[in-house]
Amino acid sequence: MPLFEKTTFVCLDCETTGLDPKNDHIIELGVIKFIFNVELETFETLIDPGCPISEASMEIHHITDDMVRGKPKIEDVLPTLLKIIGNHIIIGHGIGLDIAFISESAKRHSIPCSLESNPTLDTLRMARLYGESPTNSLEKLREHFNIEAEGAHRAMSDVIVNIEVFKFLAASFQNTEQLFERLKRPIALKAMPLGKHKGRPFSEIPYEYLQWAANKDFDQDLLFSIRSELKKRKKGNLFGQVTNPFANL
C-alpha cells in the first residue's frame, strides 16, 4: 500500500437508537473522506428512524425524537453515504459496530452494500497498541493528545476528533501496509476493559471468572489477554492464582 500521505481514508461515525444493529436504528451519520492532511468530502445528516429513541441512548448523544422527526429516512441517505465510502479504507472507533449498523440498514431496504469487505482501521485497537493513554475512549484519547474539543458527542464532532486521534496513533508506522500487518495479530490489554472487574489487571482477576470469560464472544484482543493469563497460571508458577494452589501437595 502507498504511504499515508497518498492513501484515501474515510472516517465514519453513527449515532443510533441503541446498541443492537439488528433491532436498533441509525439516527445520525457523519463521514469525512480525506488524504491525511487534506479533506476531500464531508457528509452529515440526522435520520428519522421511524421509532422512539431510548432514554439511555439519548443521554449519550442528546438527540431527541423531536430533532429527528421529519428528517430523511435511512434508505434515502445510504446511496449517498455508500458512494462516498466506495472501496476506501474505513476508520472509526469500534468501527465494526458502525459498519454492522449500516450493513443491516442496507439489508432491510434491499440496498446493495459491500462495506463489510472494505479494509478497516479501528482506532480503539490502535489505541490499545499505543498503550500510553489511561483509557482508550475517544474522549480520553482526545484529552491525552491535547486535541481541541469539538462539542457534543455527535457523529460529525466524533469524526473530526477521531481523525486527529488516528494521526497520532499512526505516527509510529511508515505506511498502511505496516499498520495492517501489525493489527492482524492480537494485542495484549493491560487491564480488563469491561464487566465487574473493569480496570483490574488480569493478574488480579479470579481464575474462575477468567475461565468463564475465555469462552464469551469478546473481541480478539480481550480473548487473547484472558487466555494468555490463564496459560500463565496453568504453568503453576504464580502461587495463589491457580484454582487450588495446594492441589499437588
Catalytic residue annotation: 153
Q: Against a cut of 0.85, is the pTM above it?
A: yes
Residues 6 or more apart whose Cβ sits within 8 Å of residue 237: none
Distance CA(31)–CA(230), nearest Å, equals 41
Grid coordinates belonging to 50: 421511524
* 208 — pLDDT class (breaks 50, 70, 90): very high
pLDDT digits (tens, 9 = 90+) for 75-98: 999 999 999 999 999 999 999 999
Q: Residue 242: pLDDT above 70?
A: no
Q: Residue 110: pLDDT above 50?
A: yes
Three-state SS letters, the chain: CCEHHHCCEEEEEEEECCCCCCCCCEEEEEEEEEECCEEEEEEEEECCCCCCCCHHHHHHHCCCHHHHCCCCCHHHHHHHHHHHHCCCEEEECCHHHHHHHHHHHHHHCCCCCCHHHCCEEEHHHHHHHHCCCCCCCHHHHHHHCCCCCCCCCCHHHHHHHHHHHHHHHCCCCCEHHHHHHHHCCCCCCCECCCCCCCCCEHHHCCHHHHHHHCCCCCCHHHHHHHHHHHHHHHCCCCCCCCCCCCCCC
* 247 — pLDDT class (breaks 50, 70, 90): very low
Q: Please, where in the chain does CATH 3.30.420.10 lie?
A: 4-183
4-183 fold: Nucleotidyltransferase; domain 5 (3.30.420)
